[in-house]
Structure 1
Amino acid sequence: MARRKGNDVDGILLLDKPLGRSSNNALQKVRYLFQAKKAGHTGSLDPLATGVLPVCFGQASKVTPYLLDADKSYRCTAQLGVTTTTGDKEGDVLQEREVTGFNEQDVEAVLATFRGAIEQVPPMYSALKHNGQPLYKLARQGIDIKRKPRDVTIHELVLIDKTEDSITLDVRCSKGTYIRTLAQDIGEALGFGAHLSMLRRTHVSPFNCDKLYTIEDIEQLAETGKLEEALLPIDTALQELPSLNLSEEETKLLRNGIKVKKADTPDSDMIRLYNQNNTFIGIGRQSKNDNDEIQIAPRRMMNTHEPLSE
């Protein structure tokens, strides 16, 4: 049976965003292929970048805030000796410097200064806003706005490859990290300047990102009526939260917005909730009432739908 436009689709797709497409363009393409009523992505990638772009369909959009805060991993190449207006190869050249006589030890010494908690000044070519205007729009008008440094954390920074005028790095970092800025700053620390010539997001926590789906993969699954094979359950985005099973009555109360008293709960503010059939029903917040009794309040409840018919 053909799928009707505007299906109730719930789940998470780990899309391998292709080179040259914006994140929104890639999102709209797969939304069309799924004929889904609602879809959104978590953490955009520039058109220059490829790799993991989680797409949340339907009820999965309720876990988006938790994914935006997640650590992410990248592989990137910094082209040394050339700085650009955008910090990547799509920008106009600002300055060229000769790259001479550096070795792996020089690179390692510089990388060591960027590991851990650091400050970054966000780039002008970014979606951050100033007085309601995205910075990149102001940058295109030749306007430069002073930006405050932001605290980010570089958990891992590893040299993968080195040529006479480039370095390739693996990076695992906290939310809010700009890899373009990191590449530029490392280039300056080496004394040559740099811009980002390649960027691929390789991992988004807490997913297992070994299996990604390209747009071509999704097109093939759509042709064979097997789109559901590409979707992960919503609760895979919340595996770092402890879980709790509820009785039928407790489930009913929480779905109606009523707190329930519950002993022997996990030691966590936020908890994954499952009903008596072990079906994921949402996220609860744990607290204590005036009598010092533990209670669970609904935080984000799910109302999932049946899978697409073939």
Structure 2
Amino acid sequence: MQEIEPYGEVFLVNKPIEWTSFDVVKKIRNALKIKKVGHAGTLDPLATGLLIVCAGKKTKSIETYMGQEKEYTGTFVLGKTTESFDLEREVFDVADPSSLTLEDVKAAAVKLSGDIMQVPPSHSAIKVDGKRVYKAARKGTEVKLEARPVRVSTFEITSFENPKVHFRIVCSKGTYIRSLARDLGEILNVGAYMSSLCRTRIGDFRLEEAKELEELIKEIKERPHENI
């Protein structure tokens, strides 16, 4: 009698805006009708782009994928900021950025490149004393977060339409792009927040290879499920 190979599969998904990474996992889990499904690296609800979802025996590879280099494109806005450094919280004015030049912004980006120490945003899923810090932040409770080493191997300013800074960033696991927005704004003394973000690569996996979520779900539902 032929032994059936245990099921395992890796899905590359273009995460829709306003979906959490867990929302995507739940949708795929329900379509596959199995419990063992997880993602390899959270994307915030307002971010889009490449999300790796592993199912069955492939969930053992999640940590490997999470540790790989990431690439992002997106936009920062200068002169304003928010508590979360993105559009999840209310935007408020900080300072007038109109005198800043492309050279100013590029010089600030250089200071945030290479091996740096970065403080994660308080509105993040990091745990302190076993609790997610964003839950405390939303209640107005301050949680002290320690700076952590990360690597920003590329911080390219692809265009500057003051106050909008368009970028391409290549970085290590654990790098928060929202924190780079905050720190860029602080270096330039005008404040900044992230208005858009798209993950374009994880290791050798590229966004161009990913499927739209609804297309993927349709394909999964149309396939035979005997071996899952």
Normalised by the length of structure 2, the TM-score is: 0.91
Distance of 2:83 and 2:200 partners within structure 1: 26
1:203 equivalent to 2:201? Answer: yes
- Other-structure match for 1:112: 110
- Other-structure match for 2:3: none
Contact 1:9–1:37 (Cα < 8 Å) also in 2: no
Q: Deviations over 1:249-305 (max 9, x none)?
A: xxxxxxxxxxxxxxxxxxxxxxxxxxxxxxxxxxxxxxxxxxxxxxxxxxxxxxxxx
- Other-structure match for 1:96: 94
Which stretch of structure 1 is more off in the superposition, 172-181 or 28-37? 28-37
Equivalent of 2:149, from 143, 146, 151? 151
The offset of 1:41, in angstroms, is 0.3
The offset of 1:96, in angstroms, is 3.1
SS of the residue corresponding to residue 211 of structure 2 reads: coil
Distance of 1:63 and 1:123 partners within structure 2: 27
Equivalent of 2:11, from 10, 13, 18? 13
Contact 2:108–2:187 (Cα < 8 Å) also in 1: yes
Equivalent of 1:176, from 174, 177, 183? 174
Distance of 1:226 and 1:220 partners within structure 2: 12
Distance of 1:40 and 1:34 partners within structure 2: 12
SS of the residue corresponding to residue 116 of structure 2 reads: strand
Question: Which runs of structure 1 show a deviation greater than 4 angstroms over 4 or more consecutive aligned residues?
Answer: none
Give the aligned residue type for 2:83: T
Distance of 2:75 and 2:165 partners within structure 1: 6
Root-mean-square deviation (Å): 1.8
Distance of 1:24 and 1:219 partners within structure 2: 15
Distance of 2:205 and 2:221 partners within structure 1: 27
Give the aligned residue type for 1:162: F
Distance of 1:29 and 1:198 partners within structure 2: 24
Distance of 1:64 and 1:55 partners within structure 2: 8
Unmatched 5+ stretches in structure 1: 1-7, 228-305
Unmatched 5+ stretches in structure 2: 1-5
The offset of 1:182, in angstroms, is 0.4
Contact 2:80–2:191 (Cα < 8 Å) also in 1: yes
- Other-structure match for 1:167: 165
Distance of 1:11 and 1:219 partners within structure 2: 14
Q: Matches of residues 1-310 of structure 1 in structure 2 within 5 Å?
A: 9-222=7-220, 224-225=222-223
Distance of 2:54 and 2:221 partners within structure 1: 21
How many residue pairs match? The answer is 223
Give the aligned residue type for 1:83: T
The offset of 1:226, in angstroms, is 8.1
SS of the residue corresponding to residue 62 of structure 2 reads: helix
Q: Deviations over 1:137-182 (max 9, x none)?
A: 1111111122111110001111112112110110000011000000
Share of identical aligned residues, percent?
A: 35
- Indicate the structure whose relative CO is greater, using CA pairs within 8 Å and at least 6 residues apart: 2
Distance of 1:109 and 1:222 partners within structure 2: 48
SS of the residue corresponding to residue 185 of structure 2 reads: helix
Distance of 1:102 and 1:82 partners within structure 2: 14
